Structure 1
Amino acid sequence: MEIEQLASKAIKGDDDSFLQLIQLFKIDLYKTALSFLRNDQEALEAVQEVTYRAYKGIRNVKKPYYFKTWLIRIMINYCNDQLQKKKHVLFDDELIKSQGVSENHNNLEIKDAMLSLDERSREILTLKYFHDLKIRDIADSMQCPEGTVKTWLNKALKALREKLEENGGNLNV
């Protein structure tokens, strides 16, 4: 069944459709949470919490087409709230050790640099580059013009490049 049809049914109160959608997007949710929180247990907890929040707020989805965007946005907001509570980010040594040093070193640098950006920049970069959303879809989810999203995206990329250059890295986007 198509995602839009499942989302329509879920919005109308079909629990099975909602569960199918969560199954489809749980990896995306987990990856988003892990990229922000950088802790496996916290990421799993975030998926659970966001699933609950999405279930409670499913009737607020205006267009079934944007269900995934809506769901990811809930995750981003949740992660930003968690980071605000911490006020600082700790490295998860096990995560660093479990990843290869050379290939994933760049990914860690990018994640570090992204965490130092403002909330809106992190959100736009996550939606665009980690979830491959189009500018139009990001604009609709953020309820602003496409030109504004493009401007914010350019500023976010510039800030990310500057952060990476400060740390000796580079960004090829």
Structure 2
Amino acid sequence: MEFDLAKRAIAGDEQAIVELLTQHEDTLYRTAYAYLKNEHDAVEAVQELTYRALKKIHTVKEPTYIATWLVRVLINICLDMKKKQKKFVYNQAVEIVSTDQQSFEMADIIASLPKEQQELIYLKYFQDMKNGDIAQLKQIPEGTVKSRLHTTLKKLRVLVEKEEL
């Protein structure tokens, strides 16, 4: 039964895709919740899976593994969401804000950092570069970029807290 449903889904039958997603809804939701630890995000991940399944299910080569494919895509969505959340937390920690006065204050605080740390902040948060790209540009290992960013962000938090007092 599921094999035939999977074959129809892969062939482009949208109703079959919806039926497959409905059959595996509980497993998919529990998987998303296990990764994201949040009901809202888990529901959002399953919604994104529905969209991607409608767009990409034709790429599945073996109908037998349709459930595995759905879970794999969902896990990738969850990992992407976690990366975005982590980046959002970093942006909050750095407190890059839109109001003029606060932006100027933040620019002054960043300017008080050593040049190398300033450059890391600008590349990562203003140019939106990935750690691997920064590593290539600076010709240093990616792990070094991560540790230097971590150190720089800790220093920035301390400076921001001093400024607020």
What is the TM-score when the length of structure 1 is the normalising length? 0.49
- Asked if residue 17 in structure 1 is aligned to residue 16 in structure 2, the reply is yes
What residue is the counterpart of 2:67 in the other structure?
A: 68
Cα separation, 2, equivalents of 1:60 and 1:45: 23
State the superposition RMSD in angstroms: 1.5
What secondary structure is seen at the aligned counterpart in 1 of 2:68?
helix
- Asked if residue 47 in structure 1 is aligned to residue 65 in structure 2, the reply is no
Q: CA deviation at 1:62?
A: 0.3
Q: CA deviation at 1:13?
A: 1.3
Deviation beyond 2 Å, 4+ runs, structure 1: none
Q: Residues 11 and 58 of structure 2 are in contact (CA less than 8 Å); yes or no, is this contact kept in structure 1?
A: yes
Cα separation, 2, equivalents of 1:14 and 1:81: 28
Deviation sequence 1:13-65 (CA, Å, 0-9, x none): 11111111010011111001100001001101111011110110010000000
Cα separation, 2, equivalents of 1:86 and 1:20: 31
What residue is the counterpart of 1:82 in the other structure?
A: 81
Larger fraction in helix: 2
> Residues 1-173 of structure 1 correspond to what in structure 2 (within 5 A)?
2-87=1-86
Cα separation, 2, equivalents of 1:13 and 1:54: 10
Deviation sequence 1:98-155 (CA, Å, 0-9, x none): xxxxxxxxxxxxxxxxxxxxxxxxxxxxxxxxxxxxxxxxxxxxxxxxxxxxxxxxxx
* 1:55 aligned partner, one-letter code: L
Q: Residues 21 and 50 of structure 2 are in contact (CA less than 8 Å); yes or no, is this contact kept in structure 1?
A: yes
Q: CA deviation at 1:85?
A: 1.4
Cα separation, 1, equivalents of 2:85 and 2:16: 35
Cα separation, 2, equivalents of 1:77 and 1:61: 16
Task: Considering Cα pairs closer than 8 Å and 6+ residues apart, tell me whether 1 or 2 has the greater RCO.
Answer: 1
Greater gyration radius: 2
Cα separation, 1, equivalents of 2:52 and 2:36: 18
What residue is the counterpart of 2:142 in the other structure?
A: none
5+ residue gaps in structure 1?
91-173
Q: Residues 17 and 53 of structure 2 are in contact (CA less than 8 Å); yes or no, is this contact kept in structure 1?
A: no
Cα separation, 2, equivalents of 1:24 and 1:33: 16
Identical positions, percent? 44
5+ residue gaps in structure 2?
90-165
What secondary structure is seen at the aligned counterpart in 2 of 1:62?
coil
What is the TM-score when the length of structure 2 is the normalising length? 0.51
